[in-house]
Amino acid sequence: MSDGLVIHQLSVGPLQVNCFLVACQKTNDAVVIDPGEEGNRVLQLAKSNGFKISKVVNTHCHFDHIGANQVLVEETGAELMLHAADLPLLQNARNHAEAYGLTVAPSPEPDRFLDQGDTFEVGEHSFSVFHVPGHSPGSICLLSDGHLFVGDVLFAGSIGRTDLPGGDFDALVEGVRERLFTLPDETIVHPGHGPDTTIGQERRMNPFVGDGA
């Protein structure tokens, strides 16, 4: 919890994606970020806390991050949002999953595209959008109240892989340095896999994008 922003993290699906249920404490309005799988678990958590899910955001559309889009949108009527450049990944997620011997539920089409500089509201809290391509063409990060949800752009001590279709190592490094590392050191980074970190820690120590890289 931070200044009325309530954050619940769930590790979901076979690839242990960090799914975030983020709510305004005052209004109980909530957004789900990267519902990779286990949609009913997310719904139950929201229900037990009295949250109303009004938005679902995919930081990017690799299959492990979008598997519960369908159930969440159907059960809540939430608005589905993502970057337009990742729409082909969303539409081809089934084939991508099958290449790894996995399956994924089909996703609804998005209701809104998000891009660099856009904002959206969750209750009394505003989320700012940063477009940081490289892991995927449409990877976005979301900032609210000192919390940065980065998907697979940045990890504690690492960055997202760039060897998948649409990946671009140079673009990822440039985006992290120019768009994320301008944020305050104390900004808490919530990655799509693994533990939280901070902007300051990654700027100083990350071997791929940090000061010593």
Domain architecture of the chain: domains with CATH: 5-205 (3.60.15.10)
Cα–Cα–Cα angle for 118, 30, 55, nearest 5°?
A: 50
- How confident is the model over 183-207, as pLDDT tens digits? 999 999 999 999 999 999 999 999 9
Using 50, 70 and 90 to split pLDDT, how confident is the model at 87? very high
**Which residues are CB-neighbours of 4 under 8 A, at least 6 positions away?**
24, 25, 26, 124, 125, 145
Q: What is the arrangement of strands in the sheet containing 112-113, beginning at the earlier edge strand?
A: 5-12, 17-24, 29-33, 52-57, 79-82, 112-113
Query: What pLDDT score was predicted for residue 135?
Result: 98
Q: What pLDDT score does 3 carry?
A: 55
Task: Reply yes or no on whether the pLDDT at 26 is more than 70.
Answer: yes
| pLDDT per residue as tens digits for the range 167-177 | 999 999 999 99
Residue-wise pLDDT for 96-122, tens only, equals 999 999 999 999 999 999 999 999 999
Contact between 173 and 132 under an 8 Å Cβ cutoff? The reply is: no
Number of alpha carbons in the 13 Å side-chain half-sphere of residue 48: 8
**DSSP strand pairing (140-144 vs 125-131):** antiparallel
So what's the pLDDT on residue 13?
96
pTM across the whole model:
0.97
Q: What is the pLDDT of residues 120-160, one digit of tens each?
A: 999 999 999 999 999 999 999 999 999 999 999 999 999 99
| CA gap 137, 120 in Å, rounded | 21
Three-class DSSP category at 158: strand
Q: Could you give phi then psi for residue 148, rounded to 5 degrees?
A: -120, 115
User: For residue 117, what are the CA distances in angstroms to 101, 155, 163, 180?
Assistant: 37, 22, 27, 13
pLDDT of residue 165: 87
The whole-number pLDDT of residue 2 equals: 47
Q: Is the pLDDT of residue 17 over 50?
A: yes
Quote the DSSP letter at residue 180: I
